[in-house]
Structure 1
Amino acid sequence: MTRWLGAVIAALFLIGAGYVVFLNPDPVVVHVTPRRSYTPPLAAALLTAFAAGGCLVGLAAVVRAGRRGWHSWRARRRTRHEARRAALTDRARALVWAGDYSRARAELLRDERGVPDDAGRIALLAETHLQEGDPAAARSLLDQGLARVGLDPRLLDLLAEAAERSGDLRAAGEALERARLGQPQSPRLARRLRDLYTADGRWNDALRLQGEIMLGIRGAAALAGEEGTLRGLRYQAAFAETDGRRVARLLLRLAREEPSFLPAWVSAGDHLAHAGRRVSARRVWERALRHQPAAVLLERLERLHASRGRPERTTRLYRRTVRRHPEAQAVLLLFARHLIVTGALDQASEALAGLPEPLASHAVTHALWGELHRRRGNDKLAAESFARAFGSDGGFLASFRCTSCQRPADTWDGYCPGCRRWGTLSAAAEWAANGAAR
């Protein structure tokens, strides 16, 4: 059908051209240049002009079609290239998951001249170095990649991780600070940077960032956890002050805002005592003792009264604490120890005899009984009590402690769940021998 239509159009065109020639047989002068001219028939001139116009239009159409074909070919080529790169990246990612890091790098660097120009491929390359325990190579790669693709937050995050593994906390912090410039609303980057500030001892910077983190929290449970972190950072930031009195004021303010935060009470009293304000220190510790009967507070107060030659104040303090906190069984043991040390042996015997079970059968209680009998001169009863406290082997083989994280254990085990290491548990005798060797 198309051929017939073309033939009909061509026949009509020839008929029309012949008709024009038949109607215009006279010649016409056509000047090509000022000195050159032609005298073709008018019909020939018209048909030539028409043919030249048609050729120009056809040439323009051919140029446009060529350009479209060229762009289409380039787009297809780019698509094939990107598909091949994506396939190589997927294959490299699978190799990384499989632990074949050298082959993964070979896949990622195929058809590349140096560092890739894609942030995702650079990140995957850096991950292969980090997984192999080579943070220096990862840092070098990421520095080159950032110079090529710009400040990509994902690459900066990896750079911070590599610097942190290298022990360069300052460089890690700088990398995360640059990453936050690109994504200031990212809570993950903010928390990572806060933790780096904390590890580097930059407490004021960590405290400032913690305030920003808390502004973006909506959940009550998450907010409560971050408030605990805020208290700890405020506690540490207080020690950065050079004025001891200001340190004490900041700690006291923190303690009053959160009475259950024991470190603020203890450290505030320590600073006051160090400054010679022992009465103020005693009041701070006694006020904290109303909230929680912590052994560290009782120890501080007992030492303070002993230094002033007033042990009877400590006795009254223990009795008052026992009445205020009857559930605090540790106070009963500390009170009994204090009575033994001060020579009130009959009162100490009454205190120990009134201990509830299972506290009465604890090794510490038996040790206190042994010291009580020893001071009374009952050597046989003292020996029996000490034997109950430490066992027949003196506790040298029955108790163990991890040499890495100091976690205690009743029985030996090849694995320590505290630090997730193996072969680190040592008996008490080994600890004693190692301590003596030092």
Structure 2
Amino acid sequence: MRFFLWVFTLIAAIVAAVYFSDLNPDPIMLRLSRQTSTEVTPLYLLLFCIAGGALAVVLLFGLREVRVLILNWRSTQRRKREEKLQSYYNSGVMASLSRRTSEAISQLQKLLALDPTNIRALLSLGNIFRREKHYNEAIRLHLRARSLEDGNLEILFSLARDLEDAKRYDEAIQALEDVLKHDSTNPTALYRIRDIHIRNDRWKAAHAVQERLLKAGLSDHEVRAEIQVMTGLKYEVGRQYLERGDLDLARRYFRNAIKLDKGFLPARIGFGELLIREGKLKQAAESWEKSYVKTGNPLFLQRLEDLYLELGEPGEMLRIYQVALSRNDQNPLLKLALGKLYYRLEMIDDAFDLLSTLEGLQDPTGALHKIMACLYIRKGDTESALMILQEALNRPRPFGTPFACTACHYEAGEWSGRCQACGRWNTLAHVLPSFGGAGQPRESVREPVQPHPYPGVASPFEPV
């Protein structure tokens, strides 16, 4: 339509030019410059102007069409390139998910050869190298990605993971601190910084991060869980101060842990050890006895027994056991513990009379069988002693460990405030003896797990 309109306009202009030329036949003097001039008839001048205008219009429309063609060509090339890059990326990701690592690396490297600044490819390829334990290459790729997009939190988290897996913990913490510069209350960054400090026994630093985490706007459920972690960290900080001899600070942290959780046994035990370190043995005994009354946990009984024997007051320990049995006279663990104390005090008849009532008790530690065999020997009944030992040897399951984690079922030979396998605090408990079967909670204990790579938390005052 535009073309016909343009042709019609051109014809009308020519007709008008001829018509006005007949009316104005005289030539016109046209000056081309100050010194140059020429005579031109009006018809020729008008036709020349029309021709010049038409040529300008043709050039204008032609250039526009050429520009559109060039832009379309560039867009097509760009789209084809993006499709090729996307194809390489999709193939690399799918190969990575299928554990075809070599193919995944090849596809992503082809992508980066075409587009060295592709953030997604740098991230994915770095993650693959980290998974394959090529930490230096993973770090190099993620550092390049960070240089291209410094505020990208996903890049910073990936870089921190590379450094952490490479055991470059301080650099990992710095990468996570960079996350906090962009998001000061980011819980993921705080969690990971805290866990790195815990892994390296930096309890004071972990405690400081935990304080920040509790102010990070967590949900009520998360806050309750993190308060439990805070309790454990306060205990660990107190334990470190105790080992260094800074008793005032140790006391403060133990008390704060107990305030957060009245049933937190490690802090109560640590507080008693602190009193012993100060030479306040009576106060330590009173503290542990009150803790036993409040919690009913047999851990305190063994410590009380050792302490009262050291004080030369076994009668106090006998009193505690007898009071406890008066409240729960069917508790086999109390009877076994009192019988063992009788045996330690050379009260042979009392030990024999009490432990004889535990016939058929499945003691996971094997202590009952050993003591009964010794008692029979002391009484001159070697045959019965041999029968007891034979019974122990014929057990379907060998004697095990006296403690098990109530969270992950890790079995331990000594009590500690924190499970070496799962890292939780206040979860190691006595495997209780029972009649006619395996001890409790040994029935619920699965195959022993290997300790977690975090170091243990045993301290001089913790072993039973």
TM-score interval, normalised by the smaller of the two chains: 0.7 to 0.9
1:206, distance to aligned residue in structure 2 (A)? 2.5
Percent pairwise identity: 21
Which consecutive residues of structure 2, in runs of 5 or more, have no partner in the other structure? Answer: 402-409, 414-437, 439-445, 452-464
Q: Which moved more, 1:288-297 or 1:183-192?
A: 183-192
Q: Label 1:15 to 1:28 Cα distance change in 2 as closer, same or farther (>3 A).
A: same
- Structure 1 unmatched runs, 5+: 421-438
Aligned to 1:270: 273
Name 1:372's counterpart in structure 2.
375
Q: Give CA-to-partner distance per residue, 1:44-97, whole Å, 9 cap, x none.
A: 434444544554455445444444443443333222211211111110111112
Whether the 8 Å contact between 1:336 and 1:348 is mirrored in structure 2 is yes
Match of 2:449 in 1: 418
Higher relative contact order (CA 8 A, sep 6+): 2
> Cα gap change, 1:59/1:183 in structure 2, threshold over 3 Å: closer, same or farther?
farther
**Richer in helix (by share):** 1
> What residue number does 2:219 align with?
218
Q: Give the aligned partner of residue 291 of structure 1.
A: 294
1:81-100 counterparts in 2 under 5 A?
A: 81-100=81-100
Distance in 2, Cα, partners of 1:175 & 1:372: 64
SS where residue 33 of structure 1 aligns?
A: coil
- Hey, what's the Cα distance between the residues in 2 that align with 1:339 and 1:26? 147
Are the equivalent residues in 2 in contact too, given 1:248–1:271 (CA < 8 A)? yes
Q: Deviations over 1:25-52 (max 9, x none)?
A: 3333333322223332334434444544
Alignment correspondent of 1:188: 188
Q: Is the 8 A contact 2:237 2:253 kept in 1?
A: no
The one-letter amino acid of 2:274's match is: H
Instruction: Say which is worse superposed, 50-59 or 242-251, in terms of deviation.
Output: 50-59
Q: Which residue among 341, 346, 352 is the counterpart of 2:344?
A: 341
Following superposition, the deviation at residue 359 of structure 1 comes to 4.9
For residues 253 and 264 of structure 2, what CA distance do their matches in structure 1 show? 13
Q: Normalising by structure 1, report the TM-score.
A: 0.80
For 2:173, the aligned partner's letter is: G
Contact map agreement 2:366 2:399 (CA 8 A) in 1? no
- 1:73–1:169: structure 2 CA closer, same or farther, 3 Å change rule? same
Could you say what secondary structure the match of 2:112 adopts?
Answer: coil
1:90 alignment partner AA:
N
1:31 & 1:115 partners in 2: Cα distance?
61
For normalisation by structure 2, the TM-score amounts to: 0.76
Count matched residues.
408
User: 2: distance between equivalents of 1:257 and 1:169?
Assistant: 30
**Distance change in 2, residues 1:362/1:296 (3 Å):** closer
Deviations 1:145-204 (A, max 9, x none): 323443532232222222222222222222222234344454333322321221122323
Distance 1:52 1:327 in 2: 119
Q: Could you say if the C-alpha distance between residues 61 and 209 of structure 1 is closer, same or farther in structure 2, counting changes exceeding 3 Å?
A: farther
1:387 counterpart (387, 390, 396): 390
Aligned counterparts, 1:32-431, within 5 A? 32-53=32-53, 55-56=55-56, 58-110=58-110, 112-113=112-113, 116-214=116-214, 215-220=216-221, 222-241=222-241, 243-324=246-327, 329-355=332-358, 358-359=361-362, 363-391=366-394, 398=398, 418-419=449-450
1:336-363 deviations in Å (ceiling 9; x for gaps):
1111111223332343244496558994
Residue 212 and residue 67 in structure 1: after superposition, are their counterparts in 2 closer, same or farther (change >3 A)?
Answer: farther
Shift in alpha-carbon separation, 1:14–1:115, aligned structure 2, 3 A: closer
Look up the match of 2:406: none
Letter in 2 for 1:129: F
